[in-house]
Structure formats: C-alpha cells, structure tokens
Amino acid sequence: MTVTQTVTATKAGAGFEDFEDAKVQYTADANASALAATLNSAGAGGDFTVVVGFNPATQTMTVERTWTDDDWAAYLAEHDGARQAAKANLEAAGWTTGETIVDNA
C-alpha cells in the first residue's frame, strides 16, 4: 500500500519564475537543511516517487510524494518534529502552506 502526501506552498507577492526559483526560497525560509537532506536522500533511495508543479499566476508550488506505507511511517516517526518546525519557519516568513495525506489502501 502507499500514502500520497501533497504539499502546497504560496508566498504572495514573491514573483517566482518557476518551481526551482520558488524551491530555493522555500528551502531557505524553512531553515531545515537536515530535513531537506533527508528528503533528498529518501527520494534518491526510492522511498517515494515525486511529482512537482508550479502555478506562476498564483505563485503556488506543489510537491506530491507517494510513499510506501512503511517508509512514510518511518519518516514521520523520525522527522515529525522537524516537519512542524519547518512549517512554523515558513509561515513566519510569509508562506501559506498546506498538506494533505491520502492513504491509498
């Protein structure tokens, strides 16, 4: 079974040109380099598949990760505190964030 995690983030008035441009600022504002490294490693290791998107009109970036149930559970167990801290940092920097989790049972 799998779990789909969809993360959305918008920073009004930012003027990003594309996903990569938005991602650079998002990553800096999250101030969570260890968490970013974990996600990069997990993605490279096949723990999830990812689809990204960016809407220039709304300045909204979207990251959809589909995890195996076990990999998702392990990620949450090890990094939920860091995830919450990154979200707080982003919101303090003016981002509007959202996350949906769907169990694909």
Please write the tens of the pLDDT for every residue from 16-73: 999 999 999 999 999 999 999 999 999 999 999 999 999 999 999 999 999 999 999 9
Token reading at 77:
């167990």
What is the pLDDT confidence band of residue 105, given thresholds at 50, 70 and 90?
Answer: confident
Local structure of residue 13 (DSSP, 8 states): T
β-strands 2-10, 48-55: how paired?
unpaired
Domain range list for the chain: 2-103
pTM tops 0.85: yes
Q: How far is CA 16 from CA 8, 20, 27, 52, 59, in A?
A: 15, 9, 14, 15, 7
The CA-based diameter of the chain, rounded to the nearest angstrom, is: 39
Asked whether 67 and 48 are in contact (CB, 8 A), the reply is: yes
Name the fold adopted by 2-103: Alpha-Beta Plaits (3.30.70)
Please write the tens of the pLDDT for every residue from 83-99: 999 999 999 999 999 99
